[in-house]
Amino acid sequence: MTEKTLFEPYALGDLSLANRIVMAPLTRNRAGAGLVPNELALTYYAQRASAGLIITEATQVSAQAQGYQDTPGLYTPEQIAGWRTVTDAVHAKGGHIFVQLWHVGRVSHVDLQPGGAAPVAPSSIRAATKTFVNNGFADVSEPRALELDELPGIVDDFRRAAANAMAAGFDGVEIHGANGYLLEQFIKDGANQRTDAYGGSIENRARLLLEVVTAVTKEIGAVRTGVRVSPVSPANGISCSDPQSQYDYIAERLNALGIVYLHVVEGATGGPRDVAPFDYDALRSRFGQAYLANNGYDRDLATSHLNEGRADMFAFGRLFISNPDLVERLEAGASLAPLNPALLYGGGAAGYTDYPTLADAGTQ
């Protein structure tokens, strides 16, 4: 049997990807006035267009959805136009690009909320985490619990943002249901103490995510819709007492909705893969479309899991920051450039668009 490689073309729905390597969503806090992607963003994503698929930095679906300084939105005409310049640049280089849509929920600060309002959450439980605001990191603010009659509006914000994504030229959207943000806050009982139809049972806690996915797939099609989950990640102070049963159910329901891929953070986001017990193979068995694996992968581990049938595509995050030509470097077995962590969040071109390719560095 011929061994599969990361560098062969892959059919994702009706898209023909150049390879199985995905650029993971990476928040960089560099949006311009009006939270519009600017010329720097165009350059940044175009530099990385050799990825089989780019998933953009998380992008808020409304003003209320913002939780970090200078993150882009997709709810105004100006934001749509800004993203259109990015998608055009990526497509001109033969790449494909999805936008990650998020609502941060309780992971926010009053200084980022319209009118200085409290952030919203399933329950009035403050997250044990910080956010990037006023050019530095600060504790998140105390949230208020969403009223039942507010939830249809949240669903519609995601639906509208997905429609805007199509107007901006994206190939699809990824719904952010991971890393301790709003949809995961409903999913995990450490943040959700509701007693209505959106709390308590695993079915109830999954309800908001599934309503959002249903609305988005009806708007733009399941073949244009992916979902990201992080079953055991403690990111942003989140916890769950029953992750296996919760996420096995979610995978089954997402499979029934026919979404094009399931993006799974295996372990702690950006941390150990073995942070808590979880059977990812069991999760994968419940989802029949593309399984996108994330967290701690290198070429060898990804190739091994690909040939064992444990995943179809593999997301690389920070390596793409300092290696715009990561696909080419991995294929050639070339050295990988380190990133400068001091330049991850905010700022300008430094640490964003100035990392050289092998060709730029004259080492090819």
Single-letter amino acid, residue 66:
Q
- Decide if 216 is inside a domain: yes
Nearby residues of 18 by Cβ (< 8 Å), 6 or more positions away: 9, 50, 52, 94, 95
Q: Tell whether 3 is covered by a domain.
A: no
Report the distance separating Cα 230 and Cα 252, nearest Å: 16
- Say whether 181 is catalytic: yes
Q: What is the DSSP letter of 114?
A: G
Q: Give the whole-angstrom CA distance, residue 73 versus residue 359.
A: 34
Range of the domain at 327: 10-355
Using alpha carbons, select from 105, 227, 101 the residue that is nearest to residue 168.
Answer: 101
Q: Which residue among the candidates 181, 247, 261, 355 is catalytic per the annotation?
A: 181
CATH of the domain at 321: 3.20.20.70
* Assigned domain for 233 exists: yes
| Calpha distance 114→106 (Å, rounded) | 14
Residue 363 domain-assigned (yes or no): no
Distance CA 323, CA 300 (A): 18
Element (H, E) at 313: strand 313-316
Answer yes or no: is 5 within a domain: no
Whether 361 is covered by a domain: the verdict is no
Look-up of token digits 């893969």: 273
Residue 274 lies in a domain: yes
Is the residue at 360 inside a domain?
no
114-171 per-position pLDDT tens digit: 999 999 999 999 999 999 999 999 999 999 999 999 999 999 999 999 999 999 999 9
* 128 to 28, 133, 144, 269, 362: CA distances (angstroms): 22, 16, 15, 16, 46
**pLDDT in single tens digits along all 364 residues of the chain:** 678 999 999 999 999 999 999 999 999 999 999 999 999 999 999 999 999 999 999 999 999 999 999 999 999 999 999 999 999 999 999 999 999 999 999 999 999 999 999 999 999 999 999 999 999 999 999 999 999 999 999 999 999 999 999 999 999 999 999 999 999 999 999 999 999 999 999 999 999 999 999 999 999 999 999 999 999 999 999 999 999 999 999 999 999 999 999 999 999 998 889 898 999 999 999 999 999 999 999 999 999 999 999 999 999 999 999 999 999 999 999 999 999 999 999 999 999 999 999 988 764 4
Task: Report the domain count for the chain.
Answer: 1
